[in-house]
Amino acid sequence: ETGVTQTPRHLVMGMTNKKSLKCEQHLGHNAMYWYKQSAKKPLELMFVYSLEERVENNSVPSRFSPECPNSSHLFLHLHTLQPEDSALYLCASSQDPQGTNEKLFFGSGTQLSVL
């Protein structure tokens, strides 16, 4: 148990659907992250929020829209996705808002399949 909870664990959606992934951390951390893990590729950082403000957006398509309403919750809103967006989406948190050299705590991920 890492203290980071993601829901749902699995999600199947059509290309025209709208869905959201949820992440909650119970660690009192100040930074939260979304990563994408595709088969045979390194983990790709998508978004970073530090003290509830977005500080990093790694050229992610606009069909992915993050939201961080407070320091404990992070959402990833999905709409009109493509089949190549199928992947494991991992949420992580860290104590330090500058976070780049910090140990990350990960959730178990949401396995997304886009049909």
Using the rule CB under 8 A, which residue among 24, 52, 56, 67 binds other proteins?
A: 56
Compose the 9-38 pattern: x for residues touching other proteins by CB under 8 A, - for all others. Answer: ------------------------------
CA angle 72, 2, 97 (to 5 degrees): 45
Rule CB under 8 A: say whether 106 interacts with other proteins: yes
Tell me whether residue 16 or residue 100 sits nearer to other proteins (CB atom): 100
Rule CB under 8 A: say whether 66 interacts with other proteins: no
Whole-number minimum distance, CB 103 to other proteins, in Å? 5
Question: In sequence order, what are the residues at sequence separation of 6 or more whose Cβ sits closer than 8 angstroms to the Cβ of residue 76?
Answer: 20, 21, 23, 34, 46, 47, 64, 65, 66, 67, 89
Nearest to 23 by CA among 101, 77, 97: 77
Beta carbons of 98 and 89 less than 8 angstroms apart: no
Footprint on this chain of other proteins (rule: CB under 8 A): 2, 4, 40-43, 45, 48, 55-56, 58, 88, 90, 92, 98, 100-101, 103-109, 111
